[in-house]
Amino acid sequence: MDMKLLFAASIFFVLSACQEITPPKPFGPLPSARQLDYQQMEFNAFFHFNMNTFTDIEWGSGGEDPDIFNPSDLDCEQWIKTCKDAGIKGVIITAKHHDGFCLWPTETTKHSVKYSKWKDGKGDVVKELSDACKKYGLKFGIYLSPWDRNNAKYGTPEYIDVFRDQLRELLTNYGDIFEVWFDGANGGTGYYGGANEKREVDRRNYYDWPNTYKIIRELQPKANIFGDGGPDVRWVGNEQGFANKTNWSLLRRDGVYPGWPKYKELTSGHEDGTHWVPAEVDVSIRPGWYYHASEDHKVKSLPQLLDIYYHSVGRNGTMLLNFPVDRRGHIHENDVAAVMSMANQLNKDFKTDMAKDATITASVDRGRGYGTGNLNDGNRDSYWSTPDSITSGSVVIELDEPKVINRFLVQEYIPLGQRVQEFTIEAFVDGRWRMIAKETTIGYKRILRFEPVEAEKVRFTIMKSKACPLISNIELYHAPAVMVEPLISRNKRGVVFIKAFGESADLLYTVTGKDAVKHGVLYSEPFILKGKGTVKAVIRDKSSGKYSPVATVEYDVSKDKWRVRKGGKRSNRAIDGNPQSSYHVNGDKFPIDIVIDLGEILNIAGFTYLPDQSRWSSGVVKEYGFYVSMNGKDWGRPVSEGEFSNIKSSTVWQKKEFEPVTGRYIKLQALSEVDGVKRLGAAEIGVVTE
């Protein structure tokens, strides 16, 4: 080759190799460094532990005696060890809730641990917890309720100084704070230093938030401020534990304030938001935020907790899971078991990433440094991108052999903004592309769950994006079926329903009490069981062949022919077979009765009673009498009488047996109610026949 030409060619080669591809420009509102750190934490814990723990209510009035706060065995390390084991990265404590009781020895009020007998006034829960966090390497945050139903100054400008002093104490004396949590509930009735009155405030302006935020920025510049509308982290608009599928980390922030009426918009954010304000999904592991012994059996189940995870972390939100710490000062063992079962299942769900070693190709890329190799390199700072002018594109993940998948995880490179508006996932099965999902936003992280599919390749297509898409990570998994016992139910007509959780599972059952693993038949549709029978059901994972624990429910005769003869409105709810519906009847005095016609003469050897299962159950019968009659008029003496022990704390099924008697009518008589209310309530009443 001509030397000149060779020289020119090599210059050209060197120049083009060195040519820098221009990086994409930021688009729209961007996260701050503190918000980025926060979003990467993904899963945090909330602790509601304060005066209400000892008064057994959710909102104290503020007039409580500080001595009532008295944990018998406070063990903050137990809380933090539990969190660490469960994969939780940071925790937030209710340093002060609406009743104004302070968990630290504040100088601002006498309504605190300093004035309680607990540890002779030398205790400091905030200190013990922050120390435990330091020891185990978790981040620490505080909840300081703006509303203070104890403080005499609440509602006046002087209270704002008290509130800010409290904030200063918390932000100065306990090390690094990652989040400061301001609740939206503000103003109303309260003790207020003994005034016992209603005090409303202008939620938008009373607290002069901008100047309060300045204190936080000055004392803890890395702390994220949580409020209904941010400024750093926003409320997700519900306490049930979900963000919407479409979830923008953007918000028209300056229009949102505590108590903003359009709070439902917070569940999706605003596509045209003016500020970066990601959503935090706060939800309690029990029905209440505070501990109530009566909710010991109402801890969320594994399927419920998994749904919350996939609907928060899996939808571009952070999960803030609340533990109502008990009166000992421990996370209750039922709650520990529940969170650990969730953590263990998630470890299984995300065990082997099948995209990690896959070959990924793209329809288009921006050029060197922005190729598809960035999608599975485990580096969150590298990303695949298209040229500026192209706002769509697809990548194909080619697996070395067909593999079963049911999870798709994808992340945008958010430091330059949230962009993707529409995307699809397809699987290549038997020589053609099959649509798996058509979705909208991605954001920091999006995880899709779908029915297992055996795919040779997976295609991820961005259909629409506000600017060139920047994708930093893609992962593929095959999560095993959730091996919890299936749910069995039977309605009034005797129709039995069996429900399995999770995908890829067969359901097997028997109605004779025989082992469902050995003798079970495949459940395909609801079936009728009018008479007595013991239904057993089990889940069999299709791919591993493993079995779940077996669910067993003993049924007596169905209530098909039953009619309530004496009872008020909606009395049918006590015999409809649905534990979630309940019936209540009030009386002027006890006894209060419900009479049921069984529609046939039966040999009765016992009865069952399930109290109201709702959050604030009422009419829970404490002492009872139970009668059987042939004609519904002559009742004679009760065939059973006594009390349902511990029913206030544990509203579970009660069963009483007695010498068999023959009859067609039954009467349950309430002789007292757990709260002294003159009411009989029942979710279900049943009989035990011979």
Give residues in contact with ligand FUL (CB under 6 A): 58, 183-185, 282, 289
CB of 59 to ligand FUL, least distance (A): 6
> Which one, 299 or 399, has the nearer CB to ligand FUL?
299
Alpha helices in 627-677, H assignment, sequence order: none
Task: Give least dist CB 92 to ligand FUL, A.
Answer: 9
Min dist. Cβ of residue 346 to ligand FUL (A): 23
Beta carbon of residue 483, minimum distance to ligand FUL (angstroms, whole number): 32
Shortest reach from residue 256's CB to ligand FUL, in Å: 15
Least Cβ distance, residue 105 to ligand FUL (angstroms)? 22
CB closer to ligand FUL out of 177 and 539: 177
How far apart are alpha carbons 346 and 243 in whole angstroms? Answer: 19
Give the shortest CB-60-to-ligand FUL separation in angstroms. Answer: 10
Q: Which residues are CB-contacts of 247 (< 8 A; sequence separation ≥ 6)?
A: 267, 268, 269, 279, 315, 316, 317, 441, 443
Instruction: Considering the complex, state which of residue 136 and residue 257 has its C-beta at the smaller distance from ligand FUL.
Output: 257
Residue in the shown chain whose Cβ atom is closest to ligand FUL: 185
User: Which among 197, 180, 179 is positioned nearest to 188, based on CA atoms?
Assistant: 197
Q: Which is nearer to ligand FUL, 242 or 289 (CB)?
A: 289
Q: Which H, E and C letters describe 480-539, residue by residue?
A: CCCCCCCEEEECCCCEEEEECCCCCEEEEEECECCCHHHHCEECCCCEECCCCEEEEEEE
- Cβ atoms of residues 662 and 630 within 8 Å: yes
Which one, 282 or 307, has the nearer CB to ligand FUL? 282
Comparing CB distances to ligand FUL, the nearer of 183 and 673 is 183
Report the residue number, 37 or 58, with the smaller CB distance to ligand FUL.
58
Tell me how crowded residue 482 is: count the other CB atoms within 10 A of its CB. 22
d(CA 674, CA 513): 36
Contact 440, 245 (CB under 8 A): yes
Nearer to ligand FUL, 63 or 369 (CB): 63
CB 78 within 8 Å of CB 354: no
Residue 325 or 539 having the CB closest to ligand FUL:
325
CA distance 638 to 635: 8
**Residue 650, H or E segment:** none
The tokens 């009532």 sit on which residue?
A: 68
Nearer to ligand FUL, 184 or 587 (CB): 184
Non-local (6+) Cβ contacts of 608 within 8 A are 556, 653, 654, 655, 656, 684, 685, 686, 687, 688
Q: Which two tokens stand for residue 17?
A: 């190799």
> Do the Cβ atoms of 529 and 511 come closer than 8 Å?
yes
CB of 277 to ligand FUL, least distance (A): 18
Place of tokens 């991820």: 460
The nearest distance, CB 68 to ligand FUL, in angstroms, is 18
Which residue's CB is nearer to ligand FUL, number 58 or number 503?
Answer: 58
When the beta carbons of 189 and 586 are compared against ligand FUL, the nearer one is 189
Question: CB 287 → ligand FUL: shortest distance, Å?
Answer: 12
Comparing CB distances to ligand FUL, the nearer of 98 and 315 is 98
Beta-carbon contacts of 179 under 8 Å, excluding residues fewer than 6 positions away, are 38, 44, 90, 92, 139, 141, 142, 223, 224, 225, 226, 233
Token couple for 559 = 């209530």
3-state secondary structure 190-211: ECHHHCCEEECCCCCCCCCHHH
Question: Which CA distances in Å does 193 have to 64, 142, 149, 641?
Answer: 11, 24, 8, 48
Strands (E), 611-653: 623-629, 640-643
Query: What separation, in Å, do the N-terminal and C-terminal C-alpha atoms of the chain show?
Result: 105
Q: How far is the CB of 281 from ligand FUL (least distance, A)?
A: 11
The span from the CA of 479 to the CA of 452, in Å, is: 9
- Residue 597 contacts by C-beta under 8 Å, 6 or more apart in sequence? 562, 563, 564, 565, 632, 664, 665
Report in angstroms how near the CB of residue 107 gets to ligand FUL at its nearest.
24
- Cβ-based nearer residue to ligand FUL, 263 or 509: 263
Q: For residues 218 and 239, which CB has a smaller minimum distance to ligand FUL in the complex?
A: 239
In angstroms, the CA 595 to CA 627 distance is 9
Task: For ligand FUL, give the closer residue by CB, 278 or 520.
Answer: 278
Question: Could you give the CA distance from residue 648 to residue 675 in angstroms, rounded to a whole number?
Answer: 8
Least distance (Å) between residue 90 CB and ligand FUL: 16
Q: Whose CA is closest to 377, among 356, 398, 393, 360? A: 356
Q: In 3D, which of 21, 675, 35 has the Cα closest to residue 415? A: 35
We find the least distance from the C-beta atom of residue 69 to ligand FUL, in angstroms, to be 17
Least Å distance, CB 292 to ligand FUL, is 13
What's the full length of the chain, in residues? 690
Among 201, 182, 199, 194, which residue's Cα sits nearest to residue 64?
Answer: 194
The least CB distance from residue 267 to ligand FUL, in Å, is 15
Question: Which residues does 643 contact at the CB level (< 8 Å), separation at least 6?
Answer: 622, 623, 624
